[in-house]
Amino acid sequence: MTGGPDLRVRLGALELAHPIINASGTYDVLAVAGHGPSTVPFSCYVPKTVTLEPRTGNPPPRITETPSGIINAIGLENPGIEAFIADLPRLAGLRIPVIISVGGARPADYLAVVRRMEERLAAAGAGRSPAIAGYELNVSCPNVAAGGLSIGADPEALRQLVSAARPLTARLLIAKLTPNVTDIVAPARAAAEAGADAISLVNTFKALVLDPVSLRPFLGNRTGGLCGPAIRPIALRMVAEVAMSVDVPLIGMGGVTSGLEALEMIACGATAVAVGAATLADPRAPARILEQLSAELAARSLAGLDDVRGTALRDS
Ligand SMILES: Cc1cc2nc3c(=O)[nH]c(=O)nc-3n(C[C@H](O)[C@H](O)[C@H](O)COP(=O)(O)O)c2cc1C
């Protein structure tokens, strides 16, 4: 082997230099101190979910630590698609592709965001912009009253949304699934059959923490979404179940903090691995995870990720 293991991966038509990407909502390229747009430690950038209209999000407190993870109820605070578009030139220096995470209260809102973005990208003289590789439909946010989770937990609703979004773009179309279901395979199948190029999983688990003094819900939204190491074994199981049932590439996420844990996601069938809570705790975590992943492959004398993908799914 020369030059170390081959870390390149392919999500549909999109080739990525390596499999480590950011989980939406946990890394702001423009806000991370000491990092310019050209020094992002990911192979692809997924900004915070954007909706048609601006959203102020949920009342505080909106995030807190738990014994082995983070619980948040941000509530999809974002400036809306028009402000997002106006801000795109600030991301133009990015040397990696961008996948736009799309949210909405109704299916029509998701479609309007994709349509508006495509119009903007097609417009003559559209101005400076990063390379927009595709869309991740966030049908899985547990912290908004309408839409989100309810679409992701209903395979038929998800099938209809993906079918309607499919003709709007030739770019990559990804469905991000909620783990708050009894059967993760049903929505995954529905999304793939409706034309999704890839599936991301998992979003956060609906959870509750109490204020220890008042014994009342701590978060302003009462419940929130749990992520981080606590959810990793469940996320792994869900990635494995989906990998055994659908043919599209998977972006696995949930509690990954090390190269070995990223490798485990890949062994369970993931093509790419997203990192969220670990980056919130330490912005240098993704670069370390990538280095460790490469070292794990080298230590096992594996030439590339194809040699390990899905090994956990085999009978022997
Ligand atoms: C503070 C915070 C904000 C998040 N915002 C979003 C979001 O806007 N859109 C989305 O699809 N997921 C969002 N997520 C979920 C993550 O993208 C990811 O699916 C989840 O945290 C599991 O990965 P992790 O355990 O590595 O954090 C958010 C998570 C956190 C902790």
Task: Choose which residue among 227, 232, 289 to substitute to test ligand 1 binding: the one with the highest number of ligand atoms within 8 A of its C-beta.
Answer: 227
67-103 pLDDT, tens digit each: 999 999 999 999 999 999 999 999 988 989 999 999 9
The alpha carbon of 142 and the centre of ligand 1 are apart by a number of angstroms equal to: 10
**Residue to mutate, 203, 205, 275, ligand 1, most ligand atoms under 8 Å from C-beta:** 203
pTM: 0.96
Q: Is 142 in the pocket of ligand 1 (CB under 6 A)?
A: no
Q: Write down the pLDDT at residue 142.
A: 75
**Which parts of the chain sit beneath pLDDT 70?**
1-2, 33-38, 124-126, 145-149
Residue nearest to atom 21 of ligand 1 (CA): 227
CA of 112 to the centre of ligand 1 (A): 23
| Secondary structure element (H or E) that encloses residue 66, with its range | strand 63-66
What confidence score (pLDDT) does residue 126 get? Answer: 66
The residue among 225, 224, 223, 185 whose CA lies nearest residue 205 is 225
Contacts 24+ apart (CB under 8 A), 129-132: 129/88, 129/89, 129/91, 129/92, 130/45, 130/88, 130/91, 130/92, 130/93, 130/94, 130/96, 130/97, 130/98, 131/94, 131/96, 131/97, 131/98, 132/97, 132/98, 132/99, 132/100, 132/171
Amino acid at 308: V
| Domains of the chain as residue ranges with CATH | 9-313 (3.20.20.70)
* pLDDT confidence of residue 1: 44
How far apart, in whole angstroms, are the C-alpha atoms of residue 149 and residue 204? 10
Nearest CA to ligand 1 atom 6: 25
Check pocket membership of 22 for ligand 1, CB cut-off 6 A. no
Helices 155-165 + 107-122 axis angle, to 10: 20
| Spacing, Cα 25 to ligand 1 middle (Å) | 5
Provide the pLDDT for residue 150: 81
CA of 99 to the centre of ligand 1 (A): 15
Which atom of ligand 1 is closest in space to residue 140's alpha carbon?
A: 11
Residue nearest to atom 10 of ligand 1 (CA): 24
Q: Which pLDDT tens digit goes with each residue over 153-200?
A: 999 999 999 999 999 999 999 999 999 999 999 999 999 999 999 999
Residue 264 is predicted with a pLDDT of 98
Atom of ligand 1 nearest to the CA of 200: 19
Q: 72 C-alpha vs ligand 1 centroid, how far in Å?
A: 8
- Check residue 128 and give its pLDDT: 84
Q: Which atom of ligand 1 is nearest to the CA of 227?
A: 25
Would residue 268 show up in a list of annotated catalytic residues for this protein? no
